[in-house]
Amino acid sequence: MRAQDGHRPLDQFCTVSTGMRLCYRTYGPDYAEPLLLIAGLALHLTSWSPRFIEGLVQRGYHVITFDNRDVGRSSRHAGTPPGVWRQLTRRIAPEAYDLSDMARDAVGLLDHLQIEQAHLVGMSMGGMIAQTMAANHANRAHSLTSIFSTTGARRVGQPAASTMWLLSRSPARTRDEAAEGYLQMMRHIGSQGFDRDEEALRAYAEEAWDRGNGATAREGVARQIGAIIKSGDRTSALKGIRIPTLVVHGDRDRIVHPSGGHATAQAIPGARHITIHGMGHQISEGVVPYLVDLIDGHAQRSPQPEMATPMQPDQRRSA
């Protein structure tokens, strides 16, 4: 559904080949170039700034957002979430899912929407999913933009000790606790030198509590953490990516150290690496115009795929 006249697009649903039921929204005309936004750990599709999405729509993209499995209004996995000890010792159950399963979810969403290829833009864990999708499903990805993400190598991209301490806090038990905890985390890991709209951040956290099953959401987050751990070091897979790639990272990131961005750009042949000074682990409103310019410029420089015949509105779409 297209956003018009200030109205919010409706949540829509589809069941993909992995068995997951995904919640998604679309913005902009169906005939425009498809661009898939993949959110990070624990983040809902509503975490993408409306200004960011609208900026991309104005540049001529059909923007798709969705809740990853185990978050928001998408399916919860049946597996037992790994506890803190299993996470620390990296002993994830063999039957647990990994990033390649989450990438297949995203491919299934493109199948449902009858989109052959899309520009992929992922942040944090979403960047890992986008990278995995570009490596394992190259024919479905037209370009890749990886934002404050990493390779999975343990020597790079590690969080600061102060961030680990905040992450170790007891999970929120109420809506107000969740909102206050989210604000505290964003003050710590967010961008420096850019305006922070704390009212909007609180509103997001409160809505996320309501649409994400409240206190039980931590189980899904633990399974997502397990997927990252189980996938391990993906550097060798990234070396096989052959689509145009842009890597964006901030120099104030306290949850994915900037070394993760450097390693990602070094692993992917021909990748372009941009450091945004003052940016932390957040796409702040002050960063949005610059980031939209970067993504659009990168996508427009990507070679257009060859098509034997002109595409018609009712055929599969490709960027």
Q: What is the pLDDT of residue 192?
A: 83
Q: What is the pLDDT of residue 2?
A: 39
Q: Is residue 1 part of a domain?
A: no
**74: phi then psi, degrees, rounded to nearest 5:** -85, 170
Q: Is residue 240 part of a domain?
A: yes
Mean pLDDT of 159-176: 90
Q: What is the pLDDT of residue 213?
A: 78
Contact 26, 35 (CB under 8 A): no
pLDDT in tens, 19-65: 999 999 999 999 999 999 999 999 999 999 999 999 999 999 999 99
Residues 6+ apart with CB under 8 A from 310: none
Banded model confidence at residue 99, pLDDT cuts 50, 70, 90: very high
Q: Is residue 3 part of a domain?
A: no
Q: Is residue 118 part of a domain?
A: yes
pLDDT in tens, 108-147: 999 999 999 999 999 999 999 999 999 999 999 999 999 9
Q: Is residue 5 part of a domain?
A: no
Q: What is the pLDDT of residue 88?
A: 87
Asked whether residue 315 carries a pLDDT value surpassing 90, the answer given is: no
Strands 272-276, 33-38: pairing kind: unpaired
Q: How many domains does the chain have?
A: 1
Higher per-residue confidence, 305 vs 36: 36
Tell me the CATH number at 257.
Answer: 3.40.50.1820
Q: Is residue 319 part of a domain?
A: no
Mean pLDDT of 2-22: 79
Q: Is residue 280 part of a domain?
A: yes
Q: Which of 3-17, 113-127, 177-191, 239-253 has the lowest mean pLDDT?
A: 3-17
DSSP string, 212-229: TTGGGHHHHHHHHHHHHH
**184: phi then psi, degrees, rounded to nearest 5:** -65, -40
What is the domain range of residue 185?
12-301
Banded model confidence at residue 303, pLDDT cuts 50, 70, 90: confident
pLDDT in tens, 209-224: 999 877 788 999 999 9
Q: Is residue 90 part of a domain?
A: yes
Banded model confidence at residue 191, pLDDT cuts 50, 70, 90: confident
Return d(Cα 6, Cα 169) in angstroms, integer: 38
Banded model confidence at residue 311, pLDDT cuts 50, 70, 90: very low
